[in-house]
Amino acid sequence: MSKIANLEIDGKKYEFPLVVGTENEIAVDISSLRSSTKGIITIDPGYKNTGSCESAITFLDGEKGILRYRGYSIEELAEKADFLEVAYLLIFGELPNQEELEKFHADIKSHSVVDDDVKKILDAFPKSAHPMGVLSSLTSALTAFNPSSVDVNSEEQMYNAIVRILGKFPVLVAWTMRKKHGLPLEYGDDSLGYVENVLKMMFKSPNKEYEQNPILIDALDKLLILHADHEQNCSTSTVRITGSSHAGLFVSLSAGISALWGPLHGGANQAVLEMLEAIKEDGGDTKKYMAKAKDKNDPFRLMGFGHRVYKNFDPRAKIIKKAADEVLGDLGVEDPILDIAKGLEKEALEDKYFVDRKLYPNVDFYSGIIYRAMGIPTDMFTVMFALGRLPGWIAQWREMRLRKEPIGRPRQLYVGETQRSFKSINKR
Of 123-131, 173-181, 193-201, 298-306, which segment contacts ligand CMC by CB under 6 A? 298-306
Collapsing DSSP to helix, strand or coil, 261 comes out as helix
The nearest distance, CB 117 to ligand CMC, in angstroms, is 33
Pairing of strands 58-61, 26-28: unpaired
Q: Does 357 interact with ligand CMC (rule: CB under 6 A)?
A: yes
Which strands, in side-by-side order, build the sheet including 72-73?
Answer: 58-61, 66-69, 72-73
Can you tell me the distance from the alpha carbon of 176 to that of 127, in angstroms, rounded to the nearest whole number? 10
In 173-327, the DSSP E strands lie at none
Can you tell me the distance from the alpha carbon of 358 to that of 360, in angstroms, rounded to the nearest whole number? 6
Nearer to ligand CMC, 164 or 321 (CB): 321
Collapsing DSSP to helix, strand or coil, 167 comes out as helix
Q: Is 10 a catalytic residue?
A: no
Q: Does 103 interact with ligand CMC (rule: CB under 6 A)?
A: no
Binding-residue pattern over the window 59 to 88 for ligand CMC, x denoting contact by CB under 6 A: ------------------------------
Collapsing DSSP to helix, strand or coil, 417 comes out as coil
Can you tell me the distance from the alpha carbon of 4 to that of 344, in angstroms, rounded to the nearest whole number? 47
Of 296-304, 322-330, 331-339, 409-417, which segment contacts ligand CMC by CB under 6 A? 296-304
Q: If binding means CB under 6 A, how many residues of this protein chain bind ligand CMC?
A: 21
- Give start and end residues of each alpha helix (H) in 93-248: 98-110, 118-123, 131-145, 155-180, 194-203, 214-227, 234-243
Of 221, 229, 314, 364, the catalytic one is 364
The nearest distance, CB 288 to ligand CMC, in angstroms, is 14
Q: Taking CB positions, which residue lies at the least distance from ligand CMC?
A: 306
Nearer to ligand CMC, 111 or 301 (CB): 301
Can you tell me the distance from the alpha carbon of 40 to that of 118, in angstroms, rounded to the nearest whole number? 49
Q: Is 307 a catalytic residue?
A: yes
Q: Does 361 interact with ligand CMC (rule: CB under 6 A)?
A: no
Q: Does 224 interact with ligand CMC (rule: CB under 6 A)?
A: no
Can you tell me the distance from the alpha carbon of 82 to that of 131, in angstroms, rounded to the nearest whole number? 26
5: β partners: 16
How far from 94 is each of 81, 87, 100, 162, 302, CA to CA, in Å? Answer: 13, 10, 11, 16, 38
Q: Does 308 interact with ligand CMC (rule: CB under 6 A)?
A: yes
Can you tell me the distance from the alpha carbon of 140 to that of 219, in angstroms, rounded to the nearest whole number? 29
Of 182-190, 216-224, 260-268, 335-343, which segment contacts ligand CMC by CB under 6 A? 260-268
Q: Does 302 interact with ligand CMC (rule: CB under 6 A)?
A: yes
Q: Does 391 interact with ligand CMC (rule: CB under 6 A)?
A: no
Of 94-102, 121-129, 304-312, 336-344, which segment contacts ligand CMC by CB under 6 A? 304-312
Interface contacts to ligand CMC, rule CB under 6 A: 46, 230, 233, 264-266, 268, 293, 301-308, 357, 359, 362-364
Q: Which positions are annotated as active-site residues? A: 307, 364
